[in-house]
Every structure is written in structure tokens, then in C-alpha cells.
Amino acid sequence: MKIGPLQCDFKKRFYVMGILNVTPDSFSDGGAYHDPERAMDRVREMIAHGVDIIDIGGESTRPGAPGVSLEEELRRVQPVLKKIRQESNIPLSIDTRKAEVAQRALEAGTDMVNDVSAATFDPEMVSVVKKWGVPLVVMHSRGDPKTMASLADYGDVVLEVVRYLRQRVLDLTSQGVPSDKLILDPGLGFAKKPEHNWQILHRLELLCQLPQPILIGHSNKSFISNILGNKPHQLHDGNIAVAVLARMKGAGMIRVHEVASMVRVRRVMEAYEGGLRE
């Protein structure tokens, strides 16, 4: 799969997606990069640390978060996208549920769309993705940020997530989206209780048997902090542990706030995997 200038081989390595929330209310870093200049400082830092792709979001999707208008989301993301493209060709992903935001971001040079609604929130999203021929991240969730916590009820969460993602692949490909342009995300923390997240990770190999690469977005989430605590070093240790577990189960991309350590983890994992192949 090609994401901008990046040619991805998910079997040979896992890719580090750095999070850039240009919002005042995201759960982990809300307000930290709301100002475009501070956002650019963070982008430069992530690039220096070896990030593969940067995911830019202008609407918080944390549990309970209110939605924002199209105009407000564009106001947040467009200046940052413009500044990044003036300096760098680093692969960029736009984290949005809105087709118009995705369209404007792609016009500004973004290379991928990350839609937490799996292209169900806005019926025009499929047309935008098809028009631009870019990869699309398809995530499992239920409801919306305001309602998803009340919808975390499953028989077998792993099988239900697998069935949902398989069906979304069928739906999207039937509408003309190439299957090799899709990345699947089980949606840790989205309409999931802590035990559901751990069950997904424990049986992640079932998801990784699907033809599409798997993205894991676990960074700083409460199912980790519930065990280790909310202090930065505690979350940091938990993030690394989950990333290693996810890669050993077959995940191809990790979405994280803290890039530098994850790139170092990737180097160790590549050495391990290279030794297994030799």
C-alpha cells in the first residue's frame, strides 16, 4: 500500500502514526496544539523522531465529546495542513468523519483519511475517497462520542468486531473502494469496556487474518491508565507494552502520541523479526 510517498509493507515492519490533535478538548492532549505554531513545533519534533505518518484531527472523539461544526473543524485543521505542506512531504492522514473536511484536506496535500465512523457518518465520504484514490482507515465503533459508552454490550466482542469490519469491507468494495486501499482498526476504547479492549488484544490474530492491515490506536487510553495510573511515565510504559503485544499478534500500524520511543521499539521489533526470517 502506498500512503503518499511512503510504500508500506506491513508484513516486514509496523508503521508509526503520530497523533496531532488541533483541538481544545481531546482526552490526552486537548489544547496543547490548538495554536498552529505550536502544532508545527510538534510536527517538526515527530519528523525528527522518525514518524512515518501524522494523523491530524480537528474534532475530539473521546467519550462524551460534543460534535463540532464543519466550519469550526476546517478552521482548526486547514492552517496546520497548509503550514506542514510548506515545509515537508511527510505522509499525512486526516482524522475526520466529515466528507467536506476530508475533501479540503486532500486538496491541501493529505494522503489518507482516518474515519472513526467507518464511512457511515457522512454518506459522501465514500465518493471523496474514491475520487482521490487514497487509503481509508475503517474503524469499529457504535453510536457517536456522546452515546458510545452506553452501547458497550457484546456477546463475543472479538467476533463481533471481526464481523463488522469484514462487512464494512464488503460494503465499501461494493461501492467501488479498492480493498487494497483499506486499513482496519478495531477501535480500542470506542464503545468498549476495559475488558473488551484486552480481549481484542488477546485475540488480535483473528483480526490480523483479514486481508487488510490492522491499525491499533491504544495510546494513553483509560484501559491502560486504569492499571498503571495517569502519570506520563506510567502511560508511556503501558503504551509500549501494548504496542509490542499488538505487533507480535500481527498489527501493521500503531497510532500514538509519543513517537520517539515507539520508533525505538520498532527498531527492536524489526531486529527480532529479521532474526526470525534469517
Provide the whole-model pTM: 0.92
Mean pLDDT taken over the chain: 92
User: Is residue 271, in this structure, part of any structural domain at all?
Assistant: yes
Confirm whether 98 is a catalytic residue: no
Q: Which of 23, 28, 6, 24 is nearest to 15 (CA)?
A: 6
Q: pLDDT value at position 191?
A: 94
User: Rounded mean pLDDT of 35-47?
Assistant: 90
User: Is residue 23, in this structure, part of any structural domain at all?
Assistant: yes
Confirm whether 76 is a catalytic residue: no
Is pLDDT above 60 for 139?
yes
User: Is residue 252, in this structure, part of any structural domain at all?
Assistant: yes
Q: pLDDT value at position 42?
A: 94
User: Is residue 3, in this structure, part of any structural domain at all?
Assistant: no
User: Is residue 130, in this structure, part of any structural domain at all?
Assistant: yes
Q: pLDDT value at position 172?
A: 98
Q: How far is CA 97 from CA 69, 73, 113, in A?
A: 11, 10, 9
The domain containing residue 238 runs over which residues?
A: 10-277
Catalytic: which of 221, 247, 249, 266?
221
Beta bridge partners of 16: 254
Catalytic: which of 13, 42, 76, 255?
255
For 73-114, what is each residue's pLDDT tens digit? Answer: 999 999 999 999 999 999 999 999 999 999 999 999 999 999
C-alpha 42/C-alpha 36 separation (Å) is 10
Tally of structural domains, the chain: 1
Residue 136 sits in a domain whose CATH number is 3.20.20.20
Is pLDDT above 60 for 28?
no
User: Is residue 229, in this structure, part of any structural domain at all?
Assistant: yes
Question: Going by C-beta distance under 8 Å and a sequence separation of 6 or more, which residues neighbour residue 16?
Answer: 50, 51, 52, 53, 253, 254, 256, 259, 262, 263, 266
User: Is residue 5, in this structure, part of any structural domain at all?
Assistant: no
For 162-173, what is each residue's pLDDT tens digit? Answer: 999 999 999 999
Local confidence band at 62 (pLDDT 50, 70, 90 cut-offs): confident
User: Is residue 2, in this structure, part of any structural domain at all?
Assistant: no
Is pLDDT above 60 for 30?
no
